[in-house]
Structure 1
Amino acid sequence: MPPSQRHFRALLPTVILLVLLTACQSPPTPSPFLLITPSPLPLLTPSPMPLGAGFRYSSYGPPYDPGPDYWASTGQQMAAKFPDAVPATLWIVGVIYGNGTYLNFPLDEEIDAVPADVRFSYVDLNEDVLTRFDEMGGQVWLQVEPGNADVVALIHAMLARYGHHPSVVGVGVDVEWYQSTTSPVGERITDEVAAAWVAAARAHGERFRVFLKHWEIDWMPPTYRDGLLFVNDSQQFASLDAMLADFTAWGEHFAPAPVGFQFGYPADRPWWGEYPDPPAEIGNALLQNIPNTESLFWVDFTILDVFPDK
């Protein structure tokens, strides 16, 4: 037998013993530094924007239009009441008119034809305010009350005209006037309709979003959330606590998607009129109870009472 084979046979019992001992040991505990923790799944509609605090504007809300300087100042005053907030406005550019809507701006030349049930102004009534919001780093949401007009066409018209403004963050629909012209209830929004509206907005840039406004959860899309802000405009509450209960249910239902709120209606003045600073009192209560709040809007029906035109 060659020396190498004799050497191997002499070591064989030791090798077998080591193999058996190793097999009997418990598996080694992995080092905690080698564990890989999977990242959480991304949330739908993350909220990349700071809190926007400001006001709703319509041509029929205040007794008169105090002008661009007033609106810019009011946005700044409202935002100053909340940490890290920026001036914001829900600026209505299309109001219910006949079977459709009236736009307070001219239609651009790239619009091939005037959409059915749409009337429009030959004078632009929005540029000065949007420019001021550009200058102060604010947020502008453009709203329409569509009636029976094609909402996709209205989204294209709004963003073709104003999408170049850095302050314009999105567009939206007052759902109580969607497919409705005589009764402020509106048609419910399906997932498919909501997705089509978001796609229309994003055709002008990925940064644009869509808000949907109503007071009933059931009028909102059942499951679609991407690119949406859900705004509640309920009113006629008996107290701030009653408002909080209603708005908190709204926020919890749509979480983690962002939500916004309109408040300051005349019907609620009996209780909010008792506060020394109604916007701050209501807004801070909402922020403390509804963490996915992204927008706070005081309504224009009482805005001159709370933010006087100096």
Structure 2
Amino acid sequence: MKKDYKKYFFAGSIPLILFIILFYLYPVNEGPPQSKHSEGVWNNCNFTKPAEEWSATAKRFGGKNSVIDLVVAQSHENELTYLPFPFEKNKNIYSYSQTDQVEPYLKKFDEDGLKVILSIQPNNADVADLIDIILTRYGHHESIIGINVDMEWKLTGNPCHVSDEERNLWLNRTQKYNPKFKLFLTYFKDYTYFPGDAEDVVILYDGERATQTVLMKEYEKLASHYTSAGIYTGYSSSTPPTASYDSIMAAAPNTKYILHIV
């Protein structure tokens, strides 16, 4: 008797077809999703503690997504900006070290796979000039993800404010060294002090001296105007000093960076 091979072919294909359908409906588990934010510490130009300690502390907060905000141009009371590496003084910019204190830290952070934000407190110095000085020297490091301008110490032009024109100038100058670099802007006031939203710009809220309930409300209002935001937490003057992860994310789900004061 001649067998109906066509019949057997379709009968045998049914399990295969079902398997393919189920495969696409229930994809293979690829492991836990990557965290959408980076968490770590703020280092205010403190090169007395070994780089290993800063790295370990950042990892304690952020694990594989740990970040360090490293101040490399520091504001002083005389309204000058000081650099922790040799530099021939230029009007408002001075050096306070005969050796490069930053380089060994960045080498360690590169080795440990950290992300590093290089922060500047400009005072009366030109921000674009500082960006050039810092990134010409350190822009090659794999750990660096961008430049942060602390607007509290911006005294040029409209003090403590950043216009859209300044934002574009600083971002373009930063990305001249690496198109992937971001521009971070830090302040504790409302959104009117900041420029308009833009790609590769991250707004960091630096509020303190209040309850976390008040701080989260202020952070929520500021972050609502921007695509990417972040926050500093851990000030002893706040109550409690550190905001919880849940409260931060509830206030601003677009939080990309959480920086702890330690």
Q: Does the aligned pair in 1 maintain the 2:55–2:114 contact within 8 Å?
A: no
Alpha-carbon RMSD: 2.1
One-letter identity of the residue aligned with 2:80 = G
**In structure 2, the residue corresponding to 1:193 is in which secondary structure?**
helix
Question: Where has structure 1 moved over 6 Å in runs of 4 or more?
Answer: none
Q: Which residue of 1 aligns with 2:221?
A: 249
Amino acid at match of 2:48: D
Is it true that 1:68 corresponds to 2:47 in the alignment?
no
SS in 1 for 2:141: coil
Q: Which of 235, 242, 261 does residue 265 from structure 1 map onto?
A: 235
Task: Tell me if the contact between 1:93 and 1:143 (Cα under 8 Å) persists in the aligned partners.
Answer: yes
Distance in 2, matches of 1:159 and 1:193, equals 18
Once the two structures are superposed, the pairs formed by residues 125-140 of structure 1 within 5 Å of their partners are: 125-140=101-116
* Equivalent residue number for residue 194 of structure 2: 220
Code of the aligned partner of 1:122: Q
Counterpart check, 1:196 vs 2:196: no
| Helix, strand or coil at the partner of 1:148 | coil
CA distance in 2, matches of 1:54, 1:117: 31
Mapping of 1:6-21 within 5 angstroms?
none
Measure, in 2, the Cα distance between the counterparts of 1:115 and 1:219.
Answer: 28
Report the Cα offset of residue 50 of structure 1.
Answer: 4.9
| Distance in 1, Cα, partners of 2:260 & 2:123 | 24
Higher-RCO chain (CA-CA 8 Å, sequence separation at least 6): 1
1:129 Cα deviation from its structure 2 partner:
1.9
Q: Match of 1:51, as an amino acid?
A: H
Q: Which amino acid aligns with 1:76?
A: K
- Matched residue, 2:60: 77
Query: Could you state the TM-score of these two structures normalised by the residue count of structure 1?
Result: 0.67
Q: Structure 2 regions of 5+ residues with no counterpart? A: 1-34
Match runs of 1:32-181 below 5 Å: 50-59=36-45, 65-80=48-63, 86-97=65-76, 98-107=78-87, 115-120=90-95, 121-179=97-155
TM-score with structure 2 setting the length: 0.79
How far residue 249 of structure 1 moved from its aligned partner, in angstroms, is 1.3
Q: Percent same amino acid among aligned pairs?
A: 24
Q: Distance in 1 between matches of 2:58 and 2:229?
A: 19
* Post-superposition CA distance 1:23-76 (Å, at most 9, x none): xxxxxxxxxxxxxxxxxxxxxxxxxx952111111146xxx8321111010010
Letter in 2 for 1:259: A
Aligned: 1:287 with 2:249: yes
Measured in 1, the distance between the counterparts of 2:246 and 2:86 equals 39
Number of residue pairs matched?
Answer: 224
